Amino acid sequence: MSWEELQLLYWLDLFGVAVFAISGVLAAGKKSLDLLGVVIIAVVTAVGGGTTRDLLLNRHPVFWISDPSYLSVIIIATLATIWYTRHMEPPQKALLFADALGLAVFTITGAQITQGIVSSDVIIVIMAAITGTVGGLIRDVLTNKIPMILQRDIYATAALAGATVYLLLFQLTRLPSSVSIITGMFVVIGLRLAAIQWELHLPRFKLEE
Amino acid sequence: MSWEELQLLYWLDLFGVAVFAISGVLAAGKKSLDLLGVVIIAVVTAVGGGTTRDLLLNRHPVFWISDPSYLSVIIIATLATIWYTRHMEPPQKALLFADALGLAVFTITGAQITQGIVSSDVIIVIMAAITGTVGGLIRDVLTNKIPMILQRDIYATAALAGATVYLLLFQLTRLPSSVSIITGMFVVIGLRLAAIQWELHLPRFKLEE
Amino acid sequence: MSWEELQLLYWLDLFGVAVFAISGVLAAGKKSLDLLGVVIIAVVTAVGGGTTRDLLLNRHPVFWISDPSYLSVIIIATLATIWYTRHMEPPQKALLFADALGLAVFTITGAQITQGIVSSDVIIVIMAAITGTVGGLIRDVLTNKIPMILQRDIYATAALAGATVYLLLFQLTRLPSSVSIITGMFVVIGLRLAAIQWELHLPRFKLEE
């Protein structure tokens, strides 16, 4: 990968952290936590996925320990969101789009990091999805809800599909890696936005009691 | 340990993973998750205990990362269970027995793995119980229940007792290791089935409010 | 640090573990768990923070695996608490003070351990707060509550403030390290007790639905 691509991914990753922090603040805002509780939820939402990936892959130092810029971005995004929501309605539609972009970024950067450590394609795709979704899962557990990704909306599905497309293009074609990256991200974003727009769901599974 | 014994333990371990995946599917079926949510719960139930053990012991790569057969078995068991329960009632009694066998297998393999890394007997017994029970605990947290192992039915107790018996026989006798293994597993299974049959419980602990 | 100071910190750390085990028992007592469930909650409350710190910092063996004295102290404190509460009312005020002391000890020892591994001040303060608070957070998740530290009472705030004061004194002054340690602990205890006495809270953050 070229230096410009690495730079772009780093900036996108910081953007993803900011977006997920914002979604953490908005989730926390429905539970009447105190201000530090809101910050904690925002941090956990933003770094939970990448931290779980790093621990499972024995990748140390964990990303936010080796580069505290992530924490700075999270704190700034959190405070800005708290300030903003005191004065204005949160722009729900823009946020859904930003969240889809955050999911796409985390999924593809998760796949790339795992590619450097593990050779199994299945594990790469799983770690990509873990990077994208576990932060939101921990956020939901801490605010005492059944995690959203288990229930709805083609969320983990979009991450798995995008990571798979990225990996297939990367391995089977001679396209530049930036094309694989962008296509994988488009798959994630496209599936998420389509699911939101047309209320697509996977079938539910419910046993009779 | 002989090569045949190692082979037997590996097959039993794959069996344990399948059984715990099935119990994850049945637990998820009461919560109306989507299909991928069910798969996620099944995977977490099946690998949560061994993963926690591997992270605490710094044993990398984590077992399902180094051998993706585990994930294949889980996916097959999950899909078969979803298919089966659409057509027939789940055979509850058979499942309770299978779950007891899964607990026994995970507990004893957890003890054996830990023996190779740590010398403290207390830690070996605790890691054995963690291997056997933490998957179910995470399953319950994700489906928003107080974990079953904290409440009922001589479950973690059976794991602790079986691991202790295994370790005592292994260290204090000259019996072949297969005898220690089988006896430890029988203790886990016997305690679980006795607890189910006669509704045995540990005493509850309840404070006045 | 002198050998006497290290000894003192070790004893304080064992004391912190005991106090947090007691708080785990009392929390479990409101949920009607079985006896082993109570022990599990007590252990998790007492070691959860330090274990999370050790995993994030890749510090192995994890503290209670390398020194099983911690587990012995937890078991003794748990059984004593169960016995005591069957005969007498738990002394709530004394416990709040002991819990504040436990938080102070864990926070400062967490900061010291992290100082030896990581150079970023922000990470040191965060790891200190994780050491002090994550055990209680896991306790609350397992007993199916929104974690207390997210909601109330200047708890994580006290840990962050105490760790910051400790670190500033340690780095910017020529005071003996014992003075930095004791001052940091006093800040934690003082903030906690002031918050309890005068019912201080951080402002809440609540979005309109």
Residue pLDDT tens, chain B, 209 long: 677 777 877 888 898 999 999 988 888 887 778 888 899 999 999 999 999 999 999 999 999 999 989 999 999 999 999 899 888 887 777 778 888 888 999 999 999 999 989 999 999 999 999 999 999 899 888 888 777 777 766 889 999 999 999 999 999 988 888 899 999 999 999 999 998 888 887 877 777 65
Confidence check: pLDDT of A208 > 70: no
- A154 min Cα distance to partner chain B (Å): 9
Nearest residue of chain C to residue B204 (CA atoms):
C34
Which chains does C contact via 3+ CB–CB distances below 8 A?
A: A, B
Note whether C33 and B205 are within 8 A (CB): yes
Q: Give, as one character, the DSSP assignment of residue B167.
A: H
Our separate counts of H helices and E strands in chain C read 8, 2
Contact C67, C41 (CB under 8 A): no
H helices, E strands: number in chain A: 8, 2
Residue C91: is its pLDDT beyond 80?
Answer: no
User: At C208, is the pLDDT very low, low, confident or very high (cuts 50, 70, 90)?
Assistant: low
Per-residue pLDDT, C1: 64
Of the candidates B17, B113, B20, B101, the residue with the CA atom closest to the CA atom of residue B64? B17
Answer whether B157 touches C (CB < 8 Å): yes
- Which residues, 6+ apart, have CB-to-CB distance to C207 below 8 Å? A26, A29, A30, A85, A90
Query: Which tens digit of pLDDT belongs to each residue from C60-77?
Result: 999 999 998 999 999 999
Distance between CA atoms of residues C78 and C112, nearest Å: 27
Nearest to B34 among A144, A204, A209 (CB): A204
Cα–Cα dist B161/C181, whole Å:
42
Lowest mean per-residue pLDDT among A53-62, A175-184, C25-34? C25-34
The CA distance from B143 to B132, in Å, is 19
Check pLDDT > 60 for residue C133.
yes
Interface test with B, best of C26, C31, C36, C87 (most B CBs within 10 A): C36
Asked if the peptide bond before residue C203 counts as cis, ω within 30 degrees of 0, the response is no
SS3 for C34? Answer: strand
Statement: residue C198 has pLDDT above 70: yes
Q: Please answer whether residues A192 and A162 qualify as being in contact, where contact means their C-beta atoms are separated by less than 8 angstroms.
A: no
| Cα→Cα distances A188→A23, A97, A184, A203, C137, Å | 18, 11, 7, 19, 33
Instruction: Report how far residue C167's alpha carbon sits from residue C164's, in angstroms, rounded to the nearest whole number.
Output: 5
Rounded to a whole number, what is the distance in Å from the CA of C33 to chain B's nearest CA? Answer: 5
Distance CA B108, CA B13 (A): 10
A111 vs C5: which has the higher pLDDT: A111
User: DSSP string covering B20-73, please?
Assistant: HHHHHHHHHTTTTEEHHHHHHHHHHHHHHHHHHHHHHTT-SS-HHHH-THHHHH
Q: The tokens of B122 are what? A: 């207390």
B203 and C31: CB-CB below 8 Å?
no
Chain B positions touching C31 (Cβ under 8 A) are 146, 150
pLDDT of residue C209: 57
Higher per-residue confidence, A49 vs A150: A49
Residue A6 burial by CB count (10 A; 0-12/13-18/19+): exposed, middle or buried?
exposed
Mean per-residue pLDDT, A6-19: 86
d(CA B57, CA C166): 31
Helices A35-56 and A121-142, axial angle in degrees (round to 10)? 160
Q: Which of B31, B56, B65 to mutate to probe the A interface, most A CBs <10 Å?
A: B65
Chain A residues in contact with C146 by the CB 8 A cut-off are 31, 33, 142-144
Question: Average pLDDT over chain C, rounded to whole?
Answer: 89
| Residue pLDDT, tens place only, A145-201 | 777 777 766 889 999 999 999 999 999 988 888 899 999 999 999 999 998 888 887
- Nearest neighbour of A142 by CB, restricted to C150, C204, C209: C150
pLDDT of residue B209: 57
